[in-house]
Chains A and B, each alone.
Chain A
Amino acid sequence: QVLLQESGPGLVEPSETLSLMCTVSGASIASNYWTWFRQPPGGRLEWIGYIYYSGGTNHNPTIFNPSLESRVTISADTSKNHVSLKLTSVTTADTAVYYCTRGGGFGGYPDFWGQGTLVAVSS
């Protein structure tokens, strides 16, 4: 069974950087796609982007939602088997539950989800 657990601050101040970690167990992050989504309170799910972690090279392609591309970074760390999300210059519009999932790429599908973590942007 693949388990994912998101962690990070529940409150971020406007203009600061939102940083979340997704710890994966039951699967290696190598040779898999890992995707981040978010969902504002009462709102629609939004795809943030994904990373394909090849594991053996420094080339780990990422693709992001154009609406967030200038502010978002997704990275992976095999030593800790986790995937990270950073979103810079946050505003109240970034308040949402953030989910990490396994799966991505052309025609892919998110088959395992973390429980999600609520991040509020507020001063």
Chain B
Amino acid sequence: DIQMTQSPSFLSASVGDRVTITCRASQNIIRYLNWLQQKPGKAPELLIYGVSNLQTGVPSRFSGSRSGTDFILTISSLEPEDFATYYCQQSYATPWTFGQGTKVEI
């Protein structure tokens, strides 16, 4: 299985902060990397697919990129509704696998 490792696991931030979350895959997944957001008691929601494609309806403060073997989720200016847990997920090979999650909290 492809292992997905996120960092950090927890992130303390304030409204207006620029936040970056990193995800690394244990092998080459080309560009098949998605980012999801999950709020407590809710289903995950797709934010970004294929490294950098913003899902319809997702605010433009969210962006995705790749730097070498690292995939990066950036929130340019944190809003109150962005406090949640973020997961990366690869769809290059089955079984699809997720990172352990990054909880963004105040």
**Chain A interface residues toward B at CB < 8 A:** 35, 44-47, 63, 65-67, 99, 105-111, 113-116
Contact = CB atoms under 8 A, between A and B. Distances in A.
**Main SS at interface, chain A:** loop
Interface of B: 31-32, 34, 36, 42-46, 49-50, 55, 87, 89, 91-92, 94-98, 100-101
Contacts of A110: 34, 36, 44, 46, 89
Contacts of B91: 105-109
A108 B96 CA distance: 10
Contacts of B100: 44
Given A113-B43, A114-B43, A116-B43, A107 B94 contact: no
A100 B46 CA distance: 13
A44 B87 CA distance: 9
A113 B96 contact: no
A106 B3 CA distance: 17
B43 A44 contact: no
14 contacts: A44-B100, A46-B98, A99-B44, A106-B32, A107-B32, A107-B92, A110-B36, A110-B44, A110-B46, A110-B89, A111-B46, A114-B43, A115-B43, A116-B43
A109 B46 contact: yes
A109 B43 contact: no
A18 B43 CA distance: 20
Contacts of B34: 109-110
A75 B42 CA distance: 25
